[in-house]
Structure 1
């Protein structure tokens, strides 16, 4: 088996030109890594819950219990994908019933987030998830968008690689000089 130093001896020593080429190529790779991890930030899902519109004519006490509590990861949290029926809450509120005194709130029918969601802005002002409501029944669309993007990167890599190889192999125009005539 041949020695590595013998095989690579034609490259020469590690001089200023090799350093310049190496660091130029290394620096040009950084943006590629940033493009690859962008989805971590723009595709993050902030805490959210169903929106209860201000004009729903529900008292503050009923508004406070309008989102069911669920156990998630061992913690009791407000549900992200359902709320109690606003029509029923409105009726109880108009009758001046008190939640969990006159009415067992957990027995009220639940519905999906018909009016959209309210997102926490503690970390992000906006993400693709908050812009297009990619939560609950639409949650699958966020990883689908990432998969389609990276499929495009894969196809683009093959196409651009083939194009660059073909451009290198194109014949160059022949220049005639006075001496060749």
Structure 2
């Protein structure tokens, strides 16, 4: 078996060409690092809740009550995965009932987010998650 030092002399010595290639490759490391960390920001899922489309004609008070409150991390927050059944809410809204006064909200059946989600824009204006959900 031959030694590397015996085989490599045809490559030449360390000269200007080798320095240029080395520097170009070294500078390419910086943008590659930014690409690697980029996904942390564009791939985040912002806070969200079920979307209640405008065409359901639900009053504003019923629209606010349409998302159930859940306990998470020791506090109350709006659910991001469920909503009260929208056709039931529309009927109560058209009758002029007031949520939690005329109607006990816990008696209304829950459903999943059938129309997609409404995302918070407090932190990010757009992420992969929010853009992908717009194409649904």
TM range (shorter): 0.7 to 0.9
Q: Higher relative contact order at CA 8 Å, sep ≥6: structure 1 or structure 2?
A: 2
| Alignment-derived partner of residue 113 in structure 1 | 113
Show structure 2 runs of 5+ residues with no match. 1-18
- Superposed, 1:9-158 pairs within 5 Å as 25-133=25-133
What does residue range 156-171 of structure 1 map to in structure 2 within 5 Å? none
- TM-score after normalising by structure 1: 0.58
Who is 1:9 aligned against?
none
Give secondary structure in 1 for the equivalent of 2:58. coil
- Give a deviation string over 1:6-37, Cα, whole Å, max 9, x none: xxxxxxxxxxxxx9887655432111211211
CA radius of gyration, larger in: 1
Shift of 1:58: 1.2
The residue aligned with 1:164 is none
Please, which runs of 5 or more residues in structure 1 have no aligned partner?
1-18, 134-181
Shift of 1:116: 1.1
Tell me the secondary structure at the aligned position of residue 70 of structure 1: strand
Counterparts of 1:126 and 1:61, CA distance in 2: 28
Q: Secondary structure at the match of 1:126?
A: coil
Tell me the secondary structure at the aligned position of residue 80 of structure 1. Answer: coil
Q: CA RMSD in A?
A: 2.2
Whichever structure has more helix as a proportion of its residues is 1
TM-score by length of 2: 0.76
